Structure 1
Amino acid sequence: MAETRVESEERLVQWLRDAHAMEKQAETMLHGMEERIENYPHLRKRLAQHLKETQHQAQRLEDAIGRLGGSTSAIKDTAASMVTLVQNLGTALAGDEVMKGVLAGFAFEHYEIGSYRILIAAAGVLGDKETARICRENLREEEDMAQWLSQNIDSITAEYLEREDRGSERAKR
């Protein structure tokens, strides 16, 4: 039975490393989007806020991993960031960059929410209250961002289409 617990604790550390890489990926995505958006100040402001939250989330995860005797995975972090850089380049070339970014952000927030729910459940099974606490804090921030996107997707879409109908060259940004 003790061996199973050790394996479960190792699995939790692996999942925390995955979540850290996920947050590094989100950081790259948010930074790229926030940097390029010009004509959607409310979206840009919310992305900048969530970028700061994301950086804090990654630090919380790094602290939890260290507390459990592990370290982050430079390979996972770098791979996730590189994938996102390529995706950002592809999106930047799209005629509807802001809409593709909103869609990607909406989907990614829900991926993060699912990841944190799994981490909270695993930490609960293992009696790791501190890891559960930091994951709940990260989860709350992800749910807030997902809710903001959900509440604003209609108005951002309408604003985009209005700009496009006016022939604005900057509708995409």
Structure 2
Amino acid sequence: MATNTARDTFIVGLRNAHAMEIQARELMERQSERLDEYPEIKQKVSMHLQETNEQLRRLEQCLEACGESTSSVKDTTQSVAANLQAMMHAMAGDEILKNTFANNAFENFEIAAYKSLLALCRAAGMDQARAPLQQSLQEEERMADWIDGNVEKVTMEYLQHQQRHAA
């Protein structure tokens, strides 16, 4: 039998993860609008944006299975934060680098959030949430690996763009 504390912690975690994915979606939408000079990155961001929309759907289903809903306050706050961050990075000359670093950190934040939720599943009496949360974790791990594996490439592409624009 799940303890109320475990269930409550799990629900808060699901709501937090939903708000986190709202933030991720907003960030990717803003970033993809400005990635025309980096078509490979734009394609990868677009693909992960689709995954993020599915992750949001999965989190909503997990919350519904608990008889709960998302937190509009948390979702709105994270959406605003994402748009502010995107605006700040857009003003920087090295926007692509700042986005790459921030995305690397954010993907690892998401990974930790999903691992925490997975740890809570059994104690919260929500073993049925394990498979959808595991799928989201795997998607985040793939994206984190891709970003990490491409930091040098993005940096050098940025340098080439800078050199072309300076010439």
Question: Is the TM value for this pair above 0.5?
Answer: yes
Which of 110, 118, 127 is 1:120 aligned to?
118
Query: Deviation string for 1:76-114 (max 9, x for gaps)?
Result: 000000011111111111101111111111000000000
Q: Partner letter of residue 73 of structure 1?
A: S
1:55-66 equivalence runs, <5 A: 55-66=53-64
Matches within 5 A, 1:1-173: 5-167=3-165
Which runs of 5 or more structure 2 residues have no equivalent in the other structure? none
RMSD, aligned CA: 1.5
Per-residue deviation at 1:125?
A: 3.0
Q: Could you say what secondary structure the match of 1:95 adopts?
A: coil
Shift of 1:69: 0.8
Structure of greater relative contact order (alpha carbons < 8 Å, 6+ residues apart): 2
**CA displacement at 1:134 relative to structure 2:** 1.2
Please list every run of at least 4 consecutive aligned residues from structure 1 whose deviation after the TM superposition is greater than 6 angstroms. Answer: none
1:127 to partner: Cα distance: 4.2
Q: Deviations over 1:13-66 (max 9, x none)?
A: 111000000000000001100111111100000000000100110110011001
Distance 2:166 2:116 in 1: 44
State the alpha-carbon separation in 2 of the partners of residues 127 and 76 from structure 1: 24
Task: Name the SS for the 2:121 alignment partner.
Answer: helix
1:128, CA displacement in angstroms? 2.0
- TM-score under structure 1 length normalisation: 0.92
Identical columns (%): 35
